[in-house]
Chains A and B, each alone.
Chain A
Amino acid sequence: MPHDHPDHPHSLLPSDPALRVKALETILVRKGLVDPAAMEEILDTYERKVGPHLGAKVVARAWSDPAFRDRLLADATAAIAELGISGRQGEHVVAVENTPNTHNMVVCTLCSCYPWPLLGIPPAWYKSDAYRARAVREPRKVLAEFGVTLPDGQKVRVWDSTSEVRYLVVPMRPKGSEGLDEAALADLVTRDSMIGTGLAGASR
């Protein structure tokens, strides 16, 4: 870093992309096109409030309450709204349930569409070219790299997200979880299990 030197008394120069973002923000705020308070609210939401714990709550409820499970599979957008969870861009949420016959897995081949309201910001691997290209082509191989081996009889169904439709995988309830309350069940639901690259109850 050319400016990171104790002899230089001035402020440390931010990186090129940091300055480009700052420039855009300055222009848009100056023109009144964007409200700094709205930006602050969005940052606060995604840095501190939204994350996989919300999706886990939904899955735990579906496992414990068959009527909720039915509503979730019929219309996930409405069902998650019952728990106070809603999307920002008017996107539609679709819940897909794993069964002994079908394992579901989610990708966005276009860019990185993801159920933000339920899972927060996607992990880097979800956004990588490698995952986006291979999830559809060779899902079992990708799953194996995540440490997931499915029985031969269980087929894999890959769902390609769009800006309008975001998918949530409802993983299978782990054996031995009978009698657990919703909070304890939610602890078994990992982020990856709701993307379909993991199984519930596996280590986080």
Chain B
Amino acid sequence: MTPPSRFDEPWQAQLFALTVAMSEAGHFTWSRWAEAFGATLKAMGADRPLDGGADYYAAWLTTLEGLLDRAGHAPVDEAEATKAAWERAYLATPHGQPVRLPG
């Protein structure tokens, strides 16, 4: 039996693993991460209190995108183009078949 996930949605788990793996691979220290994440939470929480669920992982994602953009690992343009390519791949793939990026 698989225990219930500790994340609300699978992408949150992927995001968590991606961030920890990048830090462990030496691309940024965890202190650097916490500092950047804290700054995003502060900025996003200025308008209204964050709920610690969906808000929290939205802030997490924004932080990682920012860090990777500034480091040149995943520049914003490249991230947007890759996201658009995934969107096209999903829309072009018949239901039930594995979705893959062309090339």
**Chain A residues engaging chain B, CB cutoff 8 angstroms:** 3, 9-15, 17-28, 31, 33-35, 38-40, 42-43, 46-48, 51, 88-91, 110-113, 120-121, 123-131, 133, 162-164
Contacts and interface: CB of A to CB of B under 8 A. Distances in A.
Given A23-B79, A24-B64, A26-B101, A18 B11 contact: yes
Contact of B86 (A10, A22, A28): A22
8 contacts: A10-B91, A20-B61, A21-B15, A22-B11, A23-B82, A27-B82, A35-B25, A128-B49
B21 A38 contact: yes
Given A11-B95, A124-B53, A111 B34 contact: yes
A129 B45 contact: yes
A33 B65 contact: no
A163 B51 contact: no
A137 to B, nearest CB: 14
Interface of B: 3, 5-7, 9-11, 13-18, 20-25, 27, 30-31, 33-35, 37-38, 41, 45, 49-53, 56-58, 61, 64-65, 68, 73-74, 78-80, 82-83, 86-87, 90-97, 99, 101
Given A38-B24, A164-B31, A14 B38 contact: no
A113 to B, nearest CB: 6
A33 B73 contact: yes
